[in-house]
A and B are shown apart, each in its own frame.
Chain A
Amino acid sequence: MDLLIKNGRVIDPSQNLDTTADVLIENGRVTAMGSELRNPQSAIRNLDASGCIVAPGLIDLHVHLRTPGQEYKEDTQTGTTAAARGGVTTVCVMPNTAPPIDRRSVVEDILQRARTEGNGVHVLPVASVSIEAKNLQLSEMAELKAAGAVAVSDDAFPMQDAGFMRRAFQYAKTCDLVTMLHCEDTALTHGGCMNEGIVSNELGLRGMPRLAEELAVFKACAVAREVGNRIHILHNTTKGAVEQIRRAKNDGVQVTAEVCPHHFALTDEACRGYNTNAKMNPPLRLQEDMEALIEGLKDGTIDAITTDHAPHAAHEKEREFALAPFGIVGLETLLPLCLQYLVEPGHLTLTQVIEKMTAAPARILGLPYGTLQNGAPADIVIFKPKAQWTLHAEDLASKSKNTPFDGVSMTGQVEATIIEGKLVHHKDTKNTEIS
């Protein structure tokens, strides 16, 4: 199905492009861009994007799709639908599945499900650095990569032992794989369930000190400097972590970093009332941390914005705060939160924000997506940057509704999502298989 997107404001940071233009898609690829492009064939479909931004489809480096093993939280069909509704066309899925992504068969299973149950969203498995995610034995990274893994990670099971970490970095380097790290010194966070500070003290909840993250980021950067491999620091939340990454980058360490919208949109105050939908790991921090994250985004210390989309069933979150699982869903709020908390206050331009979710993540993992250059896969998000709407958790496409933004007013709405030329989501159409 070929498409002609008319009259949109095309923003493609990979080409330093911000212009009103038409975009022509043929055979799943971008084939032309310019003003008042003519329909080359009468059969081709037009999509009017007047008043909308047309940008490369968003790439989310950090998603928990929960499959295989935890399909009651999310499955490939619901997860990729949620992604498309959020304008996300590529998801990198984390290895803490059941079983974890530590062997070829699991990578193949995830890719197979994406083909048969997915809606076209690119599902890219991130393999575990270790067998059973136990950080005792290296996974077969070369085979995992050959099967389709795009990186390795210790997410949810942070490596503590610097000896194992060094070997993992060395082996990942051998396989030319980026290691994506969940930086947490668990000796400092053991039993904790929210940021350590005034709010945790008042609620009587065990805290997770910011020090635990800063120390772990420092350690990972120091080991990576020694080994010379590429690392990517997942979900940074603290001022100290940003400072460590900034220093490491200045020192030439091959480190990239991401933040998640909830960490620059909310503080630990959101946990009051024992709100388990404000419980995630790393936890919501303080105002000064939010400011440091935004500063990091501005000066390039933080490369990418990701969701850490972590669905959990309602019955799991309806628990005592300390017993509820960590994590919130994020795919359908990614773009609005970035627009509301980064663009509207003037911290970042629209182009900069889009870059953090397209060209930057593509560069981090060397992906062929995140660009509208001629010949590139036609993954595109079309959105109204100023549209106002209210999020209702029950309306989320994700199987789980664990969001702290239920009932919150959102800025910016995805109109349509196109993947390899196929319209997989349109705001006004339930059935996206229209012609």
Chain B
Amino acid sequence: MPLCLCGDIPLKLQRKHILGLQEMSAEEINLVLDTAANFKEVLARPIRKVPALRGKTVCTLFFEPSTRTRASFEMAAKILSADTSSLTVAASSVTKGETLKDTVLTMQAMGVDCFVIRHPQSGAPEMATRYVRGHILNAGDGCHEHPTQGLLDLLTIREAKGPIENLRVTIIGDLLHSRVARSDFWGLQKLGAKVTLCGPDTLLPPEFDKYGACLKTNCDAAIEGADVVMLLRLQNERMDGIYLPSVREYAALYGMNARRLKRAKPDAIVMHPGPINRGVEISNEVADGERNVILEQVTNGVAVRMALLYLLLGGEE
């Protein structure tokens, strides 16, 4: 059912900013997923352009290097006919240069309707909401959340597996530092999945147990009977060198390979937020295998970001 993109009564989210999935309800998440599913039709058209956000300005503000998330946001905005501007702030200048407050105030003065913020510090997008009139869309903050990644993962699972309720999902990797894992976890939990988190105790915060997650340090046991296996990138840049003895040992204990994957359900899918480290958290054969949906995740990323921009900005005067 195609969405009426210049419609009279557009559906809207009852919130101004998208900071994380922890604060969103299942209804809100489903609204975003349904809207994104509809936008996939637009992505399949020969002319990928709709006028929904004509005259709106989306500013991507990246304080941390990123290729795909930024490209995905810009593509989503452009397909919806929004104007985009972008600002890259080198991480090093955060401590000596302009403060986040002044950066967002400066960009706002140029006229921005929606800020897309990626920042190495947890809470930076939430802090920005105190200073700007426009919308804030969190594109990943520190170890806190990466809500668009969480939503695109949910959309991908839904497409592959149907309703998320009661699916068994295993997330493997650096749970301590992963904003992707946090967003995925909150989203999956709200939609009723059974979530297992797996990693060495150095990277597996025991606090997740309090929210009903199943925590496992043994990877084989964690995968047993899973419908979905989500791998996290081993984030070397967040490692102080005291969490793991070596990449080699991590690959041996937690790397996903064809043998290990046999423990999951025969139709289980393998997901990864990218960029993948072949030979570390994912073997070549799994990375190139039939069961991974990694490229679907990328496509769905554009659809989910279109949906969020549309739901936040669409129909606004």
Q: Which of A's residues lie within 8 Å of B, judged by CB?
A: 190-191, 197-198, 201-206, 273-274, 315, 318-323
Least Cβ distance of A228 to chain B in Å? Answer: 37
Chain B residues near A198 (CB-CB < 8 A): 207, 210
Q: Given A204-B142, A205-B143, are A322 and B207 neighbors across the interface (CB < 8 Å)?
A: no
Chain A residues near B101 (CB-CB < 8 A): 318
What are the interface flags for B249-260 relative to A under an 8 Å C-beta threshold, 1 for contact and 0 otherwise? 000000000000
Q: Given A198-B210, A203-B144, A318-B101, are A323 and B123 neighbors across the interface (CB < 8 Å)?
A: no
Q: Does any Cβ of A come within 8 Å of B113's Cβ?
A: no
Q: Which residue of chain B has its CB nearest to the CB of A187?
A: B242
Which positions 110-144 of chain B face chain A at CB distance < 8 Å?
119, 121-124, 126-127, 141-144
Chain A residues near B22 (CB-CB < 8 A): 202
Partner of A320, one of B121, B207, B240: B121
Of the four ranges (under 10, 10 to 19, 20 to 34, 35 or more), the interface on chain B belongs to 20 to 34
What are the interface flags for B201-244 relative to A under an 8 Å C-beta threshold, 1 for contact and 0 otherwise? 00001011010000000000000000000000000000010000
Least Cβ distance of B121 to chain A in Å? Answer: 4
CB pair A201–B127 under 8 Å, yes or no, is no
CB pair A203–B207 under 8 Å, yes or no, is no
Chain A residues near B121 (CB-CB < 8 A): 320-323
CB pair B122–A204 under 8 Å, yes or no, is yes
Q: Which residue of chain B has its CB nearest to the CB of A201?
A: B207
Chain A residues near B123 (CB-CB < 8 A): 203-205, 274, 320-322
List, sorted by A's number, 16 A–B pairs whose CB atoms are closer than 8 Å.
A190-B240, A201-B207, A202-B182, A204-B123, A204-B144, A204-B182, A205-B122, A205-B143, A205-B144, A273-B126, A274-B122, A315-B99, A320-B121, A320-B122, A321-B122, A321-B123
Q: Given A198-B207, A318-B101, are A204 and B145 neighbors across the interface (CB < 8 Å)?
A: yes
CB pair A320–B143 under 8 Å, yes or no, is no
Residue of A206, A273, A274, A320 with most chain B CB atoms under a 10 A cut-off: A320
> A190 vs B243: C-alpha distance in the bound complex, in angstroms?
14
Least Cβ distance of B249 to chain A in Å? Answer: 23
CB pair B119–A320 under 8 Å, yes or no, is yes
Least Cβ distance of B221 to chain A in Å? Answer: 23
Least Cβ distance of B64 to chain A in Å? Answer: 12
> A201 vs B176: C-alpha distance in the bound complex, in angstroms?
8
CB pair A274–B143 under 8 Å, yes or no, is no
> A305 vs B126: C-alpha distance in the bound complex, in angstroms?
35
> A318 vs B126: C-alpha distance in the bound complex, in angstroms?
12
> A307 vs B144: C-alpha distance in the bound complex, in angstroms?
31
> A322 vs B94: C-alpha distance in the bound complex, in angstroms?
12
Chain B residues near A204 (CB-CB < 8 A): 122-123, 141-145, 179, 182
Which positions 135-178 of chain B face chain A at CB distance < 8 Å?
141-145
> A202 vs B189: C-alpha distance in the bound complex, in angstroms?
14
Q: Does any Cβ of A come within 8 Å of B95's Cβ?
A: yes
Q: Which 9 residue pairs across A and B have the least CB separation, nearest first? A: A204-B144, A274-B123, A204-B143, A320-B121, A204-B122, A201-B207, A198-B207, A321-B123, A201-B205
Chain B residues near A206 (CB-CB < 8 A): 143
Least Cβ distance of B227 to chain A in Å? Answer: 26
Partner of B142, one of A197, A315, A322: A322
Chain A residues near B26 (CB-CB < 8 A): none
Chain A residues near B124 (CB-CB < 8 A): 320
Q: Does any Cβ of A come within 8 Å of B42's Cβ?
A: no
Which positions 22-37 of chain B face chain A at CB distance < 8 Å?
22
Q: Does any Cβ of A come within 8 Å of B107's Cβ?
A: no
Least Cβ distance of B35 to chain A in Å? Answer: 27
Q: Does any Cβ of A come within 8 Å of B5's Cβ?
A: no
CB pair B122–A203 under 8 Å, yes or no, is yes
